Amino acid sequence: MANKVLVAYGSKYGSTKQIAEKVGEVLKQEGLEADVVSGDKVKDISGYKDVIVGAAVYIGMARKEVKGFLQKNEAALKEKRVWFFYSGPSGKGDPVELVKGAVIPQNLKQIFEVIKPKDTVVFHGNLDPQRMKGLEKWIVQRVGGDTGDFRDWDMIIAWAKKVAAEIKK
């Protein structure tokens, strides 16, 4: 049986979902089975040896679907191989520099100490002003945030291939 991988994500407007779907697509191209599911829809992780978790992060905090998924499955995830990505920073430049080195969202630090992901990576996000609500739009304007789609698909694909290679070892 091929290795079956869960890609669980939390996405507010769909950009992180698209990244998760791309990761799942790459895993399949690399010969793995992959299920891509919103974290709040995952029922059982016992059938997976490997789990990739992706979160949209706003103001340093991961989406509630991801935090809930990690809390609910913390004991089981401790026994699995887990990789983590988040998307969020908008603008040009190194995404890790844009988040001032914060590769773990503030609201997940305690959980990460328990599950100890094999890797965490930060991808650029997509901040669409047409989809933002009032307060969110106001905050972005106040902090001078860049809007637009800054996702680097080559970086995302390369990371997914690297994870696939580790899973197949």
Residues shown for the chain: 169
Res. 97 pLDDT band, cuts 50 70 90 = confident
Output the furthest CA–CA distance in the chain (Å, rounded): 52
Distance CA 88, CA 83 (A): 17
Domains of the chain: 4-168 (3.40.50.360)
pLDDT-based confidence at residue 1 (cuts at 50, 70, 90): very low
40 close to 72: Cβ distance less than 8 angstroms? no
**How many whole angstroms separate alpha carbon 150 and alpha carbon 88?**
9
